[in-house]
Structure 1
Amino acid sequence: MEFLKLYLDHMVLGTLGFMSFIMLAFAVERYIYFWRIKLVDFKHIELLKVALTRNLTTISSVGANAPYVGLLGTVLGILITFHEMGQGNKLDVNSIMLGLAMALKATAAGLLVAIPAILFYNGLMRKVDVLVSRWTALQDGFA
Structure 2
Amino acid sequence: MQDNFLAYAEDALDYGVMGVLILMSIVTLWLFIERMMFYNSIRLDDYKNRDHLEMDLTNNISIISAIGSNAPYVGLLGTVLGIMITFYAMGDAGAVDAKKIMIGLALALKATAMGLIVAMPAIVAYTIVLRKVEKILAAYDIVNEEKVD
TM-score range, shorter chain: over 0.9
Displacement of 1:89? 2.2
After superposition, what is the alpha-carbon deviation per residue over 1:103-123, rounded to whole angstroms, capped at 9, x for unaligned?
000000000000000000001
What's the counterpart of residue 35 of structure 1?
Answer: 40
Matched residues in 2 for 1:5 and 1:20: separation?
Answer: 22
Point out where structure 1 has 5 or more consecutive residues left out of the alignment: none
TM-score (ref. length: structure 1) = 0.96
1:40 positional shift:
1.1
Aligned to 1:126: 131
Deviation at 1:93, TM superposition (A): 0.4
Structure 2 match to 1:135? 140
Partner of residue 47, structure 1 = 52
Q: How does 1:1-143 map to 2 (within 5 A)?
A: 2=6, 3-141=8-146
For residue 85 of structure 1, report the CA deviation from its aligned partner: 0.8
For these two proteins, the number of residue pairs brought into alignment is 142
User: What is the identity, as a one-letter code, of the residue corresponding to 1:112?
Assistant: I
One-letter amino acid matched to 1:30: R
1:6 deviates by: 2.7
Amino acid at match of 1:43: K
Aligned AA (2:116): L
- Give the aligned residue type for 2:138: S
Q: What is the identity percentage for the equivalent residue pairs of Structure 1 and Structure 2? A: 44
